[in-house]
């Protein structure tokens, strides 16, 4: 039995688990027309979960603080990702409520299971929290699998929709195969070091023969790469994003990606780095390839969700720059800042796609023509998100990119080429992002009718929009927070 | 006493067999079974290593992997059944609405 | 220093906010008052800044932007001699052009949108020149690019306008990419982004870093200021409304590159950098002037002329005479804005006809416009006592000293030849447009007073602006700027008469050639030379004939035999390459799960192979 003080450090997780169970109960007693109530309970519960998380942020000062016999970390790094996961889940639930109401009018049957949808989202959020804190290979495997399994269901959530079914199937088979490969890598790493605890592995990894270690690392990267949509493990991304309900795509592109990076970083930085293996060059190479593949494939896309999916792949490449630069004074912070800022503008872009899809029944970029006249507020926000995705100042995206590039240059002059690749790629990406702005602002609308903005979704949108702008103009609080979090990772 | 390398080689063989199954079979159910085979090769490796290292961690991992495999069956079969309902096929090559 | 002085960039930003949020619901008069009034306030603040300037650089921190350990960047503003000159010029010329726009855009549907963009541009440009560190400068740098994009594509119902806007944005971003890497390099080498600190510490950098960083920043400047080889976007940018061309693409934004180099001048004093900057400047000046000689679209003549004059400014900083460059930047803003506004007035009168074949004899019906154009033209041609003479002459003198002092003679020679060519092409344009009766429009009407008054003021400045730098009366502008560049570029001895005489001769000869050579309302037959000029010295053939097809061929190889006809020609070769690459890659995205699984396997094996081969 773990000591009670351990449990005190797990309040956010326990709270989220309890919230999920409560939601299942609430769902039983809520009528079919009022399933939004479940969503509101979920939002309220999630916001309350921020309170104990905030308490932890103040309480945890020691790097490498773990509970449950070293298997579960409660360091600043984990707390940072708790915030990220909870905020992302809250925003996605807010956006889903109006998405289902608006598109339900056209598609019919989804409302009956709406309550389960919110419950699943909350559980996935819990999974993300667990992922970011796992410090033991068994727990890493379990939490990744936890998030994957709920995500498969969420992707296939629109039961009557063949695209959604297909997204679910592809995601499931791809994910299951990638996880199996990763598990095999875990088993080899265990055999090489005799332990599943990352901290114990770190002590022994230096004595392991390098070839065997590289085989196990390559196998593990398949699983992590799948989670963060890194090339060459990216191929599920566009298909799943296109087929899944748009809020789910938003959640996957932000939540699972961030948690995937958390796991990747923890495993690589804690367990692999002491071996002296040069993983930086490899990560840098994967980063460059991801940026190029994602950006080039985003160019010809007409479907906004597919475009955002490829953009998400290229952003995985950008964030990998931070992984390569990890260890420098800026790398640790840069990566966290990027993930946090990225959350807001990516969610925002997906939310607008969700709204347009719900209102117009279309995901095609040409249907965004004249949006500046049909919905000026939406068009402005979308332009802001696109500029931020490109990395144009003074948005959060520019700041994030600047920081991560600076981190790479500071880490080692050998990474200068990677920064050059990154900058070139942000120029390429400009082309398709600005194309959206051009369509919205510079092309006449086919149908001049104004587009209604549902109230709740609008709230979520303005939160993301305000954060995108504020983090660009005044990033200091985020930097302080991220620095504290990064320092706490041993 | 069977030496450790024998178990590891068997594990690797099973893993490769599973991988080949994923690559060459078209039926979603059989692909799924192949993935389970890969997971079982992981289990075999874990158990063998656990015994060799005389540490319980590996056996612990096996239990969890079995659970994971079980849950995957639940979710995976549900999705496959759903696909079968809408398309009356479980042939993976017919599932290609999303591409490009 | 007065607190009011620090509010300079905020007034236009306020105007943008108001017009952007509620502009559509306001009456036109009010929109015009908000649009111009906020810029007037910015100008007033700039005047206050000059009046209360104590002599030492003044800084103001708004808030700490980034603080990470020893490294911190403030969102701060800086007012020193250089930025005061810039804000006065930008807000003053900007105000006149805003007022002109009230008349020019009177008929336009999107009146408030226009002023909102224009105000946003003013705010960004003022931020650019007042930024205290490279990051703030870069924010302004990117925002002016965005505004330029929005305003070039302002008349989006014209397909060409939208494409030109995109081209400008993409070409600029290529330069910006280099700029950003340069910024990062400077930061990692010096640990600061503060502009004055970089200037002060530039000498401590090792030669390789100094040259690399300065050339990267210079590449950014060639994009923004349309120098070789990134000049192609500026002529196309003329698709936007004419006041926009005057403000953004002649007077202010395109000079940002020159400003940036003058601002970081000590960084640009390494011999290698100096040669590159001066050579690119001189070549661009000459190259663009020759194209202007054979161009028929009046606004594009101005565009090439702007590229050419910007070349002079780079030439000036390249021969270590940044003050002369800023002087020319100022006078050029006056007379080129005037020329553009006059051209706009012609378009206004002739219902958007701008092809010089269709113009002619407009001097009588458009008396004031013609007068304004001729004054601007004489200033551009470098005829004394117009302002352009003084600034251009000063640059030539510095180039001469540079050559005599052991530097390269190329800048001086090309500069002098360009002076001649400049006089020829502007005389040609004036003659085609305003003399020799031939216009088809029955009754061209002179512009309304709201457009004429700004032109009158700019004409006055174009005549008298030379006094700012005339040696005989003490050269107030140069004296004011002198302490700024005191250490890096010491003032040379008083010049002789040799260079001014040559420069006047070139200008007068050019005007005479232009007047006599084009009297039959057609270009004299120059044969292959004309073709050389109109094909941009065969650079167009290099771009269109070699680079684009080569890229397309690679694209075909990547993509297989796919129809490439759809590739937008404007996307140039790199675009084709990208699209081709995308098609090839897209083939991998088959939609078949089994193939995805194969890629997982291949990927994992590749990762293992990576280490195996090391």
Nearest to A126 by CA among A167, A82, A74: A82
Binning pLDDT at 50, 70 and 90, where does residue B12 land?
Answer: very high
Do B71 and A145 make contact, defined as CB atoms within 8 angstroms?
yes
Q: What is the pLDDT of residue A430?
A: 82
> Touching check for C62 and chain A: CB below 8 Å?
no
Nearest to A75 by CA among A56, A88, A49: A56
Give the model confidence (pLDDT) of B40-71 as tens digits: 999 999 999 999 988 888 898 999 999 999 99
Do B23 and C589 make contact, defined as CB atoms within 8 angstroms?
no
Which residue has better confidence, C556 or A407?
Answer: A407
B42, closest residue in chain A (CA to CA): A184
For residue B24, is it within any domain? yes
C597, closest residue in chain A (CA to CA): A174
For residue B78, is it within any domain? yes
The pTM (predicted TM-score) of the whole model is 0.84
| Partners of residue C600 in chain A, C-beta under 8 Å | 174, 177-178, 181, 222, 226, 232-233
Q: What is the pLDDT of residue C245?
A: 86
For residue B42, is it within any domain? yes
Give the mean model confidence (pLDDT) for residues A43-69.
80
ipTM of the complex: 0.95
A172, closest residue in chain B (CA to CA): B76
For residue B99, is it within any domain? no
Average pLDDT, chain A: 86
Distance of CA A101 to the CA centre of its chain: 25
Which residue has better confidence, A293 or C565?
Answer: A293
CA distance C555 to chain B (A): 18
C320 contact partners, CB below 8 Å, separation of at least 6? C269, C274, C398, C402, C488, C489
For residue B100, is it within any domain? no
H or E element, residue C67: strand C58-68
**SS3 state at C154:** coil
> Touching check for B19 and chain C: CB below 8 Å?
yes
Distance CA(A258)–CA(C426), nearest Å, equals 60
Give the model confidence (pLDDT) of A220-251 as tens digits: 999 999 999 998 899 899 999 999 999 999 99
Give the model confidence (pLDDT) of C370-388 as tens digits: 888 889 998 998 888 888 8
Peptide bond into A232 cis (omega under 30): yes
> Touching check for C587 and chain B: CB below 8 Å?
no
Res. A215: pLDDT tops 50:
yes
Give the mean model confidence (pLDDT) for residues A434-460.
83
Distance of CA C610 to the CA centre of its chain: 47
| Partners of residue C578 in chain A, C-beta under 8 Å | 296, 299, 428, 431
Residues B57 and B45: beta-carbon distance below 8 Å: no
C61 beta partners: C76
Which residue has better confidence, A18 or C443?
Answer: A18
Nearest to C69 by CA among A185, A334, A434, A65: A334
Which domain, by its residues, includes B32? 4-94
CA distance C209 to chain A (A): 12
Mean pLDDT by 10 residues, chain C (614 residues): 82 87 80 89 89 83 69 80 89 91 82 87 91 87 85 72 73 83 82 84 83 90 86 82 86 89 88 89 90 85 90 89 88 91 85 76 80 89 85 86 82 89 88 74 75 86 80 72 65 66 86 81 73 76 70 59 40 61 73 82 85 76
Q: Provide the total of helices (H) and of strands (E) in chain B, helices listed first.
A: 3, 0
> Touching check for A199 and chain B: CB below 8 Å?
no
The alpha carbons of chain C give a radius of gyration, in whole angstroms, of 25
| Phi/psi of residue B3, nearest 5 degrees | -70, 155
Nearest to A67 by CA among A132, A149, A13, A10: A10
Q: Which of C586, C592, C594 sits opposite B100 (nearest CB)?
A: C586
Distance CA(C243)–CA(C250), nearest Å, equals 10
Interface size between A and C, measured as CB pairs under 8 A:
156
* Residue corresponding to tokens 């111009």: C36
C133 beta partners: C194
Q: What is the pLDDT of residue A75?
A: 82
Q: Which of C589, C591, C598 sits opposite B23 (nearest CB)?
A: C598
Q: Which of A169, A222, A438 sits opposite C166 (nearest CB)?
A: A438
Do C594 and B95 make contact, defined as CB atoms within 8 angstroms?
no
For residue B21, is it within any domain? yes
| Partners of residue C591 in chain B, C-beta under 8 Å | 95-100
Q: What is the pLDDT of residue A88?
A: 95
Mutate to test the interface with C, among A175, A264, A423 (most CBs of C within 10 A): A423
CA distance B65 to chain C (A): 21
Distance CA(C581)–CA(C558), nearest Å, equals 6
Nearest to C269 by CA among C324, C176, C207: C207
Do C597 and A174 make contact, defined as CB atoms within 8 angstroms?
yes
Res. B84: pLDDT tops 90:
no
Res. B77: pLDDT tops 80:
yes
Q: What is the pLDDT of residue C441?
A: 60
> Touching check for C600 and chain A: CB below 8 Å?
yes
Give the mean model confidence (pLDDT) for residues A315-322.
93
| Partners of residue A242 in chain B, C-beta under 8 Å | 98
Binning pLDDT at 50, 70 and 90, where does residue A187 land?
Answer: very high
Distance CA(C233)–CA(C539), nearest Å, equals 14
| Partners of residue A149 in chain B, C-beta under 8 Å | 71-72, 75
CATH code at position B85: 1.10.287.3510
C589, closest residue in chain B (CA to CA): B100
For residue B27, is it within any domain? yes
Count of other CB atoms within 10 angstroms of residue C606:
12
Residues A349 and A308: beta-carbon distance below 8 Å: yes
State the total domains in chain B: 1
CA distance C585 to chain B (A): 9
Q: What is the pLDDT of residue B65?
A: 92
A206 contact partners, CB below 8 Å, separation of at least 6? A274, A275, A276
| Partners of residue A479 in chain C, C-beta under 8 Å | 66-68
CA distance A409 to chain B (A): 35
Distance CA(A116)–CA(A467), nearest Å, equals 29
């Amino acid at each position: 039995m773990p000591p009670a003080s351990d449990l005190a450090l797990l309040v956010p997780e326990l709270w989220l688990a309890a919230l999920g169970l409560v939601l299942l109960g609430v769902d039983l007693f809520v009528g079919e027309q009022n399933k939004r109530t479940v969503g509101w309970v979920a939002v309220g519960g999630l916001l309350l979960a921020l309170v104990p998380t905030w308490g932890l942020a103040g309480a945890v000062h020691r790097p490498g603080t773990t509970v449950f016999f070293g298997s579960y970390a409660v360091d600043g790094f984990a707390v940072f990702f708790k915030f990220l996961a909870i905020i992302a889940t809250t925003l996605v639930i807010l956006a889903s409520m109006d998405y289902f109401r608006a598109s339900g009018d056209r598609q019919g049957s989804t409302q009956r299971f709406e309550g389960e949808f919110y419950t699943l989202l909350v559980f996935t959020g819990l999974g993300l929290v667990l992922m970011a804190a796992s410090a033991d290979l068994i727990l890493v495997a379990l939490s990744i699998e936890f998030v994957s399994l709920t995500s498969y269901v969420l992707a296939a959530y629109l039961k009557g929709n063949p695209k959604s079914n297909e997204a679910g199937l592809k995601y499931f088979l791809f994910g299951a195969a990638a996880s199996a490969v990763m598990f095999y890598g875990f088993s080899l790493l265990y055999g090489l070091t005799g332990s599943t605890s990352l901290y114990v592995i770190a002590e022994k990894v230096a004595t392991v023969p390098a070839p065997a270690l590289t085989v196990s690392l390559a196998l593990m990267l398949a699983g992590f790469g799948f989670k963060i949509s890194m090339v060459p493990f990216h191929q599920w991304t566009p298909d799943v994003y296109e087929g899944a309900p748009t809020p789910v795509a938003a959640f996957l592109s932000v939540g699972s990606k961030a948690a995937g990076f958390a796991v990747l970083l923890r495993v690589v930085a804690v367990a692999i780095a002491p071996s002296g293996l040069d993983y930086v060059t490899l990560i840098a190479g994967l980063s460059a390839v991801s940026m190029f593949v994602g950006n080039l494939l985003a160019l010809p896309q007409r479907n906004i969700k597919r475009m955002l999916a490829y953009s998400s792949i290229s952003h995985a490449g950008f964030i990998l720059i931070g992984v390569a630069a990890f260890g420098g004074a800026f790398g640790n912070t840069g990566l966290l800042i990027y993930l946090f800022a990225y959350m807001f503008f990516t969610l925002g872009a997906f939310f607008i796609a969700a709204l347009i899809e719900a209102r117009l029944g279309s995901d095609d970029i040409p249907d965004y023509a004249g949006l500046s006249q049909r919905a000026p507020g939406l068009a402005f926000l979308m332009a802001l998100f696109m500029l931020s995705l490109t990395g144009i100042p003074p948005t959060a995206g520019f700041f994030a990119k600047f920081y991560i590039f600076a981190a790479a240059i500071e880490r080692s002059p050998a990474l200068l080429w990677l920064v050059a690749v990154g900058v070139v790629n942000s120029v390429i990406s400009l082309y398709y992002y600005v194309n959206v702005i051009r369509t919205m602002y510079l092309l006449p609308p086919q149908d001049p009718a104004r587009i209604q903005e549902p109230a709740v979704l609008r709230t979520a949108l303005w939160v993301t929009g305000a954060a995108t702008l504020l983090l660009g103009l005044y990033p200091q609080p985020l930097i302080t927070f991220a620095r504290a979090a990064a320092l706490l990772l041993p | 006493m069977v030496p450790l390398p024998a178990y590891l080689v068997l594990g690797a063989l099973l893993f490769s067999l599973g991988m080949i199954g994923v690559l060459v079979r078209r039926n979603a159910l059989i692909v799924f079974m192949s993935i389970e085979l890969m997971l079982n090769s992981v289990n075999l490796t874990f158990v063998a290593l656990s015994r060799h290292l005389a540490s319980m961690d590996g056996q612990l991992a096996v239990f969890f992997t079995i659970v994971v495999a079980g849950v995957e069956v639940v979710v995976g079969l549900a999705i496959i059944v759903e696909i079968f309902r809408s398309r009356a096929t479980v042939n993976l090559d017919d599932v290609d609405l999303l591409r490009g | 220093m007065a607190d009011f002085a620090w509010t300079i960039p905020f007034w236009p930003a306020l105007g943008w906010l108001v017009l952007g949020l509620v502009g559509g619901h306001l009456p036109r008069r009010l929109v015009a008052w908000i649009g111009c009034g906020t810029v007037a306030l910015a100008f007033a603040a700039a005047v206050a800044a000059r009046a209360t300037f104590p002599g030492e650089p003044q800084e103001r921190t708004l808030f700490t932007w980034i603080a990470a350990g020893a490294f911190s960047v403030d969102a701060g503003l800086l007012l020193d001699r250089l930025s005061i000159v810039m804000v006065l010029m930008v807000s003053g010329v900007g105000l006149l052009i805003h007022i002109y726009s009230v008349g020019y855009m009177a008929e336009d549907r999107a009146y408030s949108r226009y002023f909102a963009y224009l105000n946003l541009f003013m705010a960004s440009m003022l931020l650019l020149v007042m930024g205290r560190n490279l990051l703030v400068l870069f924010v302004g740098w990117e925002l002016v690019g965005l505004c330029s994009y929005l305003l070039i594509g302002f008349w989006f119902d014209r397909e060409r306008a939208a494409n030109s806007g995109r081209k400008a944005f993409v070409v600029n971003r290529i330069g910006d990419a280099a700029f950003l890497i340069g910024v990062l390099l400077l930061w990692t080498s010096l640990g600061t982004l503060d502009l004055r600190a970089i200037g002060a510490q530039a000498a401590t950098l090792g030669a390789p870093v100094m040259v690399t960083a300065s050339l990267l920043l210079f590449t950014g400047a060639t994009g923004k200021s349309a120098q070789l080889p990134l000049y192609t976007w500026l002529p196309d940018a003329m698709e936007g409304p004419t006041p926009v061309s005057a403000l953004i693409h002649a007077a202010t934004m395109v000079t940002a590159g020159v400003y940036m180099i003058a601002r970081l001048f000590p960084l640009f004093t390494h011999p290698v950098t100096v040669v590159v900057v001066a050579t690119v400047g001189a070549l661009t000046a000459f190259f663009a002037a020759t194209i202007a000689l054979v161009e028929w679209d009046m606004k594009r003549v101005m565009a090439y002329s702007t590229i050419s004059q910007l070349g002079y400014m780079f030439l000036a900083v390249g021969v270590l005479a940044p003050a002369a460059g800023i002087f020319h930047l100022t006078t050029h803003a006056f007379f080129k804005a005037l020329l553009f506004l006059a051209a706009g007035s012609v378009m206004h009168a002739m219902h958007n006809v701008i092809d010089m074949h269709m113009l002619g004899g407009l001097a009588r019906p458009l008396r004031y416009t013609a007068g304004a154009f001729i004054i601007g033209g004489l200033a551009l041609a470098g005829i004394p006592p117009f302002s352009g003479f003084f600034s251009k002459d000063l640059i030539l003198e510095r180039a001469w000293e540079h050559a005599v002092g052991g530097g390269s003679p190329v800048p001086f020679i090309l500069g002098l030849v360009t002076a001649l060519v400049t006089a020829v092409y502007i005389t040609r344009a004036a003659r085609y447009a305003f003399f020799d009766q031939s216009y088809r429009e029955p009754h061209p009407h002179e512009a309304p007073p709201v457009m004429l008054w700004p032109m009158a003021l700019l004409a006055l400045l174009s005549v008298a602006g030379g006094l700012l730098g005339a040696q005989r009366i003490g050269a107030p502008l140069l004296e004011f700027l002198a302490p700024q560049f005191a250490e890096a570029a010491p003032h040379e001895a008083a010049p002789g008469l040799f260079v001014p005489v040559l420069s006047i001769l070139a200008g007068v000869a050019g005007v005479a050639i232009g007047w006599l050579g084009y009297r039959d309302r057609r270009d004299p037959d120059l044969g292959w030379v004309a073709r050389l000029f109109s094909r941009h010295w065969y650079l167009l053939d290099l771009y269109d004939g070699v680079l684009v097809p080569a890229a397309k061929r690679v694209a075909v190889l990547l993509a297989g035999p796919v129809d490439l006809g759809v590739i937008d020609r404007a996307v140039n070769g790199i675009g084709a390459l990208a699209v081709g690459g995308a098609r090839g890659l897209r083939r991998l995205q088959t939609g078949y799960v089994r193939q995805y699984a194969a890629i997982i396997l291949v990927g994992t094996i590749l990762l293992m192979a990576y280490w195996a081969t090391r």
